[in-house]
Amino acid sequence: MVGLAAAFGSGAMTNSLPEFAESKALFVIGSNTTEAHPIAAKWIYRGKMNGAKLIVADPRSIQLAEMADIAVHHRLGTDVALINGLMHIILKEGWHDQDYVAQRCEGFEELAAKLEEYPPDRVAEITGLSVEALRRIAELYANNKPAAIIYAMGITQHTTGVDNVKSLANLAMLTGNVGVLGGGVNPLRGQNNVQGACDMGGLPNVFSGYQPVADEAANQKFSQAWGKDLPQKPGLTITDMFPAIEEGKIKALYVVGENPMLSDPDLRHIEEALKKLDLLIVQDIFLSQTAKLAHLVLPGTSFAEKDGTFTNTERRVLMVRKAIEPIGQSRPDWQIITDLAARLGYPMEYSSAEDIFQEIRQLTPSYAGMTYARLAPSGLQWPCPTEDHPGTMYLHKDRFTRGKGLFTPIDYKPPAEVVDPDYPLWLTTGRTFVHFHTGTMTRVSPSLHHEQETAYMEINPTDAREMGIKDGERVRVSSRRGEIQIKAKVSRKVDRGIVFIPFHFAEAAANVLTNPAYDPTAKIPEFKVCAVKVEKLAAQAA
Amino acid sequence: MDFRTVYTTCAYCGCGCGILLEVLDGEVIGTLPVKTHPVSQGSLCIKGWNIHEFVVSERRLTEPLLKKNGRLEPVSWDEALDAAASRLKRVVAEHGPDAVAILASAKVTNEENFLLSKFARAVIGTNNIDHCARL
């Protein structure tokens, strides 16, 4: 969430899910909300019922599009051009919030100059949308306040992911929609505790509460609390770890509850790297594809067997409570970590998860006012600095975390890989309503497995007819990185020239095909765009 | 017969819906929505309604496994943790703390992620810690 941090000073979702019910416009871009975040979608429906205008921009005909005031399919990877084009129109029409921009933001002149380069006819050419559609979106978004922007991985999983997010931040600030109830820029987090993992310092450059490891005062504070001089140089991101393993710089990897063997791009490279390690420790609840390669597998417990907290996408810290004893000999992950630390000569003395939370509060100002007792009924949203603070429903009211909101002029750049005669189709990946991430949890659930047993590839009826592919037929899909076989699902959800594959399924893993090219700042791989070819299987063709 | 419901938080997507796990004689047998929860207000999606199913899956790992002669074999916790500690020590001794990397998780609790950050930085002495938010 580097993009939002640069613009506002905080990388989290600015507003809260229930606020969508009070928005007057909802701009959903790069989020298939009804499938990936169904309960967030419920709040979008409520907003719509209360009269909000709904704008949907997505390369596929997602369910939300059916009830939208306007729904468009812009070309894959053209988000920056689209958003610049909308801002161009808003400025020309004088629909921007001049007082807000003057008082609360900086960098407007530079942005305005850049937007001159994005007149509607040029943007129409890049995005494939009509000038009328661009005008309609700009008008609906700018003239119905408060307006909320809602996005997910469809915005971030690009080589231009940070640019895309900064562009959305520009759009929201230009129209005075940040720091107001029902507005904001709202990333929907894909996994239950992504927000918490970030908040707690599961990142190479910060301690908990985003206190930089390289900051003298922060480093000293944690060094003192933990009784050890802590390293000041930021570490490697996940996307830099794998090359470092291949170069022999990283010898040992300790993986907790992750399955890079299915979630990372270009899986062949990942597997080669993991096999090169002197030591791979995997702590998980299932024998994942990654765990199968490990030297050592440690059985952690599921959320049902331990106490603790998760932080949801809207910064709400929520209680997790132990319902049953650990299955077999599995142990709560926090106990495994403390056992391991003790054997390495660093005893950690905690008698419960709540004990650990006390230390989190002491070292993390945004969590300082939270206690398990206060969290019990319905959680609290950070920042919550003191025990009498009610928590924070939306950020940046009256003042941005960084002071003034920063506009950044952004240029459109095409995706890292584009279609050509050898690989003539665009591939985009995503989720389905039944399964979750790499499927380790949902695919062992009988009810969910029954709904969707295996992988498929959506292809447009016209493309399918021209290639002689029938619904349900197995086909070969290949990219410059690998190939898979998969069942074709002929569907109008995708336009001509595009195919879609959900990434949950190991037996036909979309990430064998995807491009590891990543955003230079956020290091997020470009899962949402690459070039592929689709062929009938030889046996069937003959 | 001991039946109770436990108020907790769904572990799938980032919405953080409230759920009640139904527990009968120490086993999770069902999931119910929570009417008073600020986000879910009595709703759940298909994944949430069925979240108890993966908890009791037969495929859950139930004991530590150590690779011996190319195969993962069940071992005691003591043997597993001793092996993990001694091998980590060796890597740090021979190649320095930055030869170790840690992947924290969007699936475990805040408390556990906090400890992993502490483990990387204070126990091993490296900032090589990240997780899959990027993915």
Kindly report, residue by residue over A377-392, the tens digit of the pLDDT: 999 999 999 999 999 9
Q: What is d(CA A296, CA A319) in angstroms, rounded to the nearest whole number?
A: 31
Q: Is the domain of B113 the same as that of B87? A: yes
B62–A193 C-beta distance less than 8 A:
no
Predicted pLDDT at A445: 76
Prior bond of A516 cis (ω within 30°) = no
- Reported as a single tens digit per residue, the pLDDT across B84-128 is 999 999 999 999 999 999 999 988 999 999 999 999 999 999 999
Q: Is the domain of B75 the same as that of B35? A: no
Whether the CA torsion A270, A516, B135, A209 is positive or negative: it is positive
A235–B129 C-beta distance less than 8 A:
yes
The whole domain housing B48 covers 3-55
Domain C-terminal end among B37, B55, B73? B55
Predicted pLDDT at A509: 74
Q: In this complex, is the C-beta atom of B64 within 8 Å of any C-beta atom belonging to chain A?
A: yes
Q: How far is CA A393 from CA A92, A314, A319, A326, B38, in A?
A: 33, 8, 18, 35, 12
Angle among Cα A241, A243, A247 to the nearest 5 degrees reads 110
Q: What is d(CA A335, CA A130) in angstroms, rounded to the nearest whole number?
A: 58
3-state secondary structure A297-356: EEECCCHHHCCEEEECCCCEEEEECCCCCCCCCCCCHHHHHHHHHHHCCCCCCCCCHHHH
Residue range A536-541: mean pLDDT, rounded: 67
Helix/strand/coil for A166: helix
Predicted ipTM? 0.97
Structure tokens at B51: 């979240």
The verdict on residue B60 lying in a domain is no
For residue A264, name the pLDDT band (cuts at 50, 70, 90). low
Residue A347 burial by Cβ neighbours in a 10 Å radius (0-12, 13-18, 19+): exposed
Q: Is the domain of B44 the same as that of B84? A: no
Scan residues 89-108 of B and list those with Cβ closer than 8 Å to A.
89, 91, 94-95, 97-108
Residue with token string 């990027």:
B134
Angle among Cα A83, A88, A93 to the nearest 5 degrees reads 130
Size of interface A-B (CB pairs under 8 A): 435
> Which DSSP state fits A403?
B
Residue of A208, A244, A527 with shortest CB distance to B114: A208
Predicted pLDDT at A158: 72
Q: In this complex, is the C-beta atom of B72 within 8 Å of any C-beta atom belonging to chain A?
A: yes
Q: What is d(CA A164, CA A170) in angstroms, rounded to the nearest whole number?
A: 10
Q: Is the domain of B8 the same as that of B40? A: yes
Q: Is the domain of B80 the same as that of B45? A: no
pTM comes to: 0.91
For residue A465, name the pLDDT band (cuts at 50, 70, 90). very high
- Reported as a single tens digit per residue, the pLDDT across A266-288 is 677 888 999 999 999 999 999 98
CATH number, residue B8:
3.30.200.210
Structure tokens at B88: 């980590």
Q: Give helix B77-95 / helix A333-343 axis angle, nearest 10°.
A: 60
Q: What is d(CA A418, CA A448) in angstroms, rounded to the nearest whole number?
A: 35
Structure tokens at A397: 């009211």
Number of domains in chain B: 2
Nearest to A311 by CA among A206, A204, A200: A200
The verdict on residue B81 lying in a domain is yes
Q: Is the domain of B75 the same as that of B127? A: yes
Task: Report the gap between the CA of B94 and the closest CA in chain A (Å).
Answer: 10
Residue of A1, A192, A237 with shortest CB distance to B106: A192
Q: Is the domain of B44 the same as that of B69? A: no
B50–A448 C-beta distance less than 8 A:
yes
Nearest to A174 by CA among A143, A205, A146, A142: A142
Mutate to test the interface with A, among B5, B110, B121 (most CBs of A within 10 A): B110
Q: Is the domain of B79 the same as that of B20? A: no
Q: Is the domain of B51 the same as that of B69? A: no
Q: Cβ distance A479 to A423 under 8 Å?
A: yes
Q: What is d(CA A57, CA B96) in angstroms, rounded to the nearest whole number?
A: 49
* Residue A163 CA from chain centroid, whole number: 14
Q: Is the domain of B44 the same as that of B85? A: no
Q: Is the domain of B71 the same as that of B130? A: yes
Predicted pLDDT at A214: 97
Residue of B36, B50, B53 with shortest CB distance to A378: B36
Q: How many residues does chain A have?
A: 542
Which residues in B lie closer than 8 A to residue A258 (C-beta atoms)? 103, 105, 107, 131-132
Q: In this complex, is the C-beta atom of B81 within 8 Å of any C-beta atom belonging to chain A?
A: yes
A299–B129 C-beta distance less than 8 A:
no
Task: Report the gap between the CA of A288 and the closest CA in chain B (Å).
Answer: 10
Q: How many residues does chain B have?
A: 135
Radius of gyration of chain B (CA): 20
- Is pLDDT larger for residue A52 or for residue A453? A52
List the beta bridge partners of residue A255: A282, B103
What residue ranges define each of the domains in chain A, with the CATH number in brackets? 2-188 (3.40.228.10), 194-372 (3.40.50.740), 425-541 (2.40.40.20)
A228–B112 C-beta distance less than 8 A:
no
Mutate to test the interface with B, among A343, A354, A518, A521 (most CBs of B within 10 A): A343
Predicted pLDDT at A542: 39
- Reported as a single tens digit per residue, the pLDDT across A295-351 is 999 999 999 999 999 999 999 999 999 999 999 999 999 999 999 999 999 999 999
Which residues in A lie closer than 8 A to residue B51 (C-beta atoms)? 445
A253–B114 C-beta distance less than 8 A:
no
Q: Is the domain of B33 the same as that of B72? A: no
Residue range A436-465: mean pLDDT, rounded: 81
b/e per residue A242-258 (b: at least 16 CB within 10 A): bebbeeebbbbbbbbbb
Predicted pLDDT at A508: 67
